[in-house]
Amino acid sequence: MHDIRAIRDNPAAFDAALSRRGMEPQSPEVLKLDEARRAAIHAAETAQADQKAAAKEVGKAKASGDEAEFERLRKLVGDKKTEVAEMQARAKELDAQLTEFLMGLPNLPYDDTPEGADEGDNVEIKRWGEPRAFDFAPKEHYDLPGVQDGMDFETAAKLSGSRFVVLSGAIARLHRALAQFMLDTHTTENGLTETWTPVLVREEMMYGTGQLPKFGEDSYQTREGWWLVPTAEVTLTNIVNGLTVDESYLPRRYVAHTQCFRSEAGSAGRDTSGMLRQHQFEKVEMVSVTHPDRSRDELDRMTGCAEGILERLGLPYRTVVLCTGDMGFGARRTHDIEVWLPGQDTYREISSVSVCGDFQARRMNARFKPESGGKPEFLHTLNGSGLAVGRCLIAVLENGQQADGSVDLPEALHPWLGGKTRLTADGVLV
């Protein structure tokens, strides 16, 4: 959420930043609501002061025997009490309207976030590895002979509908091994704290990280009111919801492997084949909670953590900075990492790492106490995939495929597979 004082102080800068996201000026409506809210608060405070003053005079009038003055003042106190209640209710209503309006506005991009309309304006900043030159036409993951028995979309459709999959045998084990490899690498080499969190959360947690109120259709809600998390960003970031921590507490770096659930609203017709875009999937998620002065450096560190997983697996990738028109709602700057998929002959997103500044912290009321003293300040938060497990499985299968239908598996993964190095065309790990 945005700082209303910053908007009051410099509405032109606020509108200029939003215009980089392709939005019309919003400060006139924000300031109109804010002015009405402040006027209602002032009116309530004035009426309350009048009420207190009249209440003091009631006793004096009673003691003096001036019955007429006593009745007038008593009526005035009652009228002011009603006026105070009305003004306080109006101020509360306007405050809720202002909060709702501000919560619907996206974060302001950093000045060095490239401006653009869509993914065509994203800027590549790194490329690692050379896509393999195949001496045969590479297949997509779901067409590989060794994969077909272990990746069952028909049974999943019977069980749950489209955009689900049942994994079994060697493919299920490979999927699990990838998640374990990622977790172990992040915890033992990258300094992240492994965390296990619920996948059902209260509504206010979804507000805290920005999925609500604007993007409710992208997620699932239970009849009891809980929401299924679209990513562990929701739970990991909200660990500091409502807290004021000591500066020495920072930074906090978390990693969690969870199921994730997304409705994929608006993606009809996209990636309907295979398991690239699913309603239920697994992700190893990284979240950092930092001092404001160090959040930009943390973005680069987290990006490196995600890139390192791909490098260890020998998977070619490129890293791009998302432009203002392609960046997510809560981000100030985002680095997307795209892995090479030879079956599609293109790079596809496998991780998105974003710095949110104090945007989420304001929504969560999460602060820290500076060691130097002074008032508590808002924290900065970051999140990123480290990585999407299913998409990493796709990349491993497609990049390691051989002409005979088998798949050579990355050397870094062998210890997590009990020394197995290859998936045969018959779907067996050997």
Residue type at position 38 = R
Greater pLDDT, 79 or 373: 373
- pLDDT tens sequence across 154-209: 999 999 999 999 999 999 999 999 999 999 999 999 999 999 999 999 999 999 99
Enter the pTM of the model: 0.92
Per the rule left: phi > 0, alpha: psi between -120 and 50, beta: everything else, 427 is left
Neighbours of 203 (CB within 10 A): 15
Q: Which residues are annotated as a binding site for L-serine?
A: 231-233, 262, 285, 383, 385
Identify the CATH homologous superfamily for domain 4-103.
Serine-tRNA synthetase, tRNA binding domain (1.10.287.40)
Could you tell me the residue ranges of all domains in the chain?
Answer: 4-103, 119-423
Residue type at position 312 = R
Annotated catalytic residue 262? yes
If you average pLDDT over residues 95-124, what whole number do you get?
Answer: 96
Whether the CB-CB separation of 237 and 289 falls below 8 Å is answered with: yes
Going by their DSSP bridges, the two strands 367-369 and 244-246 should be labelled as parallel
* Range from 41-45, 208-212, 236-240, 256-260 carrying the lowest mean pLDDT: 41-45
Question: Which residue among the candidates 86, 247, 349, 377 is catalytic per the annotation?
Answer: 349
If you average pLDDT over residues 88-98, what whole number do you get?
Answer: 93
Annotated catalytic residue 349? yes
Question: Which residue among the candidates 352, 354, 367, 406 is catalytic per the annotation?
Answer: 352
Distances (CA, A) of 169 to 150, 173, 261: 6, 6, 23
Whether residue 272 is predicted with pLDDT greater than 80 in this model: the reply is: no
Q: Which residues are annotated as a binding site?
A: 231-233, 262-264, 285, 349-352, 383, 385
Annotated catalytic residue 154? no
Angstrom distance (rounded) from CA 237 to CA 257: 14
pLDDT band at 63 (very low <50, low <70, confident <90, very high): low
Q: Which residues are annotated as a binding site for ATP?
A: 262-264, 349-352
Going by their DSSP bridges, the two strands 227-228 and 200-201 should be labelled as antiparallel
Mean predicted lDDT score pLDDT of the chain: 94
Domains 4-103 and 119-423 share a fold: no
* Residues paired with 261 in a beta bridge: 280
| pLDDT at residue 260 in the model | 98
Provide CB contacts within 8 A for 8, sequence distance 6+.
31, 34
Share of the chain above pLDDT 90, in %: 87
For the domain bounded by 119-423, which CATH number is listed? 3.30.930.10
* Residues paired with 336 in a beta bridge: 320, 352
Question: Which residue among the candidates 21, 163, 173, 262 is catalytic per the annotation?
Answer: 262
Greater pLDDT, 68 or 232: 232
- Helix-helix angle 389-400:295-313, to 10 degrees: 40
pLDDT band at 296 (very low <50, low <70, confident <90, very high): very high
Question: Which residue among the candidates 277, 294, 318, 422 is catalytic per the annotation?
Answer: 277
Candidates 425, 372, 378; CA nearest to 397 is 425
CA 10 from centroid of its chain's CA atoms: 27
Annotated catalytic residue 20? no
